[in-house]
A = this chain, B = another copy of it.
Amino acid sequence: MGNVIVKEIYKSPEEYSGKTIEVSGWVRTIRASKSFGFMEINDGSFFKNIQVVFEDKLSNFKEVSKFIISSTVYIEGEFVLTPDAKQPFEIHASKVELLGKSNNDYPLQKKRHTLEYLRTIAHLRPRSNTFSAVFRVRSLAAYAIHKFFQDRDFVYVNTPLLTASDAEGAGEMFQVTTLDLNNVPKNEEGGIDYSKDFFGKKTNLTVSGQLSAETFALAFRDVYTFGPTFRAENSNTARHAAEFWMIEPEMAFAELKDYMDVAEAMVKYIINYVMEKAPEEMEFFNKFIDKGLFERLHNVVSNDFGRVTYTEAVDILKKSGEQFEYPVEWGIDLQTEHERYLTEKVFKKPIFVTDYPKDIKAFYMRMNEDNKTVAAADLLVPGIGEIIGGSQREERLDVLEHRMEELGLKKEDYWWYLELRKYGETKHSGYGLGFERMIMYLTGMSNIRDVIPFPRTTGSAEF
């Protein structure tokens, strides 16, 4: 019946019972005695392996017995249901062929490896259970996000990564150039002659697609980005990477409340989608990576997220009697310890903290009537802290210009952004979700390096 995909077999094993089937895949485990042996084959389509029994009636039994882990094999044999065994079914091989040999120095032997070691073989680690699960969940979560927004008629917009605007202000940037660094061209004033660079001016990698996304929201109403973002920050933590993916939805005619509704629905949708589509992988995480995972995710999908103002949150923290490393006063930026205390100890579920002091938030956030706080909201989740940041955007040209002056931002650098307020200003809101943070949250993996196929961090751009 031609090659069968292992995923299909697991869907309805009964269909294959008693039939001769063909499977191609990679040897995950093998053990053999003098007259028979067992192999577990993974064909990449599914988290679980399929067991193959082979016996000395095979003409190449001796050769097969010596197959090395990770060899590529072709199996033909009878498919047998085994209701009384550990595995649900197996193949009784009538033919075993070596399609591609492996070597004895294969670096991913059966014994348990540290995550640190596995990072040094990032080209092989997706063949391990942990990373097979992580990267399949990553793929499903990405699709869940697209599906969530497309089902709601949001337009997907690819905002540019190369930007000549030096003024995004969300973090340290990488410079992109085609100039010869051995011989940087100078202009008459002795500065760098960027007219010789590829774009004729200094160019960086973007730290956010939000401002560009706003231009599209004022044409298409509801839009979202989903693409790579960069930070050249020299921070060697488990939560920061130099290259990561962001989702930035932007909605015209939406107020702060509307953003929170959409973000809450999105988070629940992603969790439900992945739980449904990758039950084996999620089971694995809950068992081996983070024993509280299911409880935590269940708590998220089954509760309405709380909403509390920053001012209320600060009051709660001050009255808590808790000793924090960073003392709490109105006006401070909440630290992870504060965020986790609020969501884990006080509310015991995800919460939006709203209406932050303007001085700790970005220039484009809408000023509240108190003239002290802005219509911003961060989503805090148990176990992590902040996972989403968003706001209503300042649509009033005069207020926005005033705020930019206060902060010393040059209007020329933002001419097109300001024009959105000149030609049909529109109330609108949006938010940003760090995709890798979401994957860490979904899987219980605690280092961002372990949810990115080939992570880029300070001092490390291997592979």
Q: Which residues of A contact B (CB under 8 A)?
A: 3, 5, 7, 24, 26-27, 43-45, 70-72, 99-103, 106-107, 122-124, 126-127, 131-132, 135-136, 138-140, 142-143, 146, 150, 153, 155-165, 172, 174-179, 181-182, 184, 191-192, 198-201, 203, 205, 212, 215-222, 227-228, 230, 232, 234, 242-243, 245, 252-253, 395, 416-417, 419-427, 452-456, 458-463
Contact = CB atoms under 8 A, between A and B. Distances in A.
Given A199-B456, A215-B123, A176 B178 contact: no
Q: Give how many copies assemble into the complex.
A: 2
A453 B222 contact: no
A43 B162 contact: no
Given A159-B454, A220-B135, A453-B158, A427 B45 contact: no
Nearest to A74: B253
Given A222-B45, A253-B3, A453-B158, A425 B101 contact: yes
A461 B203 contact: yes
B24 A198 contact: no
A455 to B, nearest CB: 8
Contact of A136 (B24, B27, B162, B220): B220
Contact of A153 (B7, B212, B420): B7
26 contacts: A3-B253, A26-B424, A26-B426, A44-B221, A45-B153, A45-B222, A100-B424, A123-B416, A123-B420, A124-B419, A126-B220, A135-B157, A139-B156, A139-B157, A157-B453, A158-B453, A162-B230, A175-B177, A177-B181, A179-B181, A199-B242, A199-B461, A216-B453, A227-B227, A227-B228, A416-B463
B463 A423 contact: no
A122 B146 CA distance: 24
A424 B184 contact: no
* 4 nearest CB pairs, A to B: A44-B221, A100-B425, A126-B219, A199-B461
A7 B165 CA distance: 35
Given A156-B139, A227-B227, A243-B161, A70 B177 contact: no
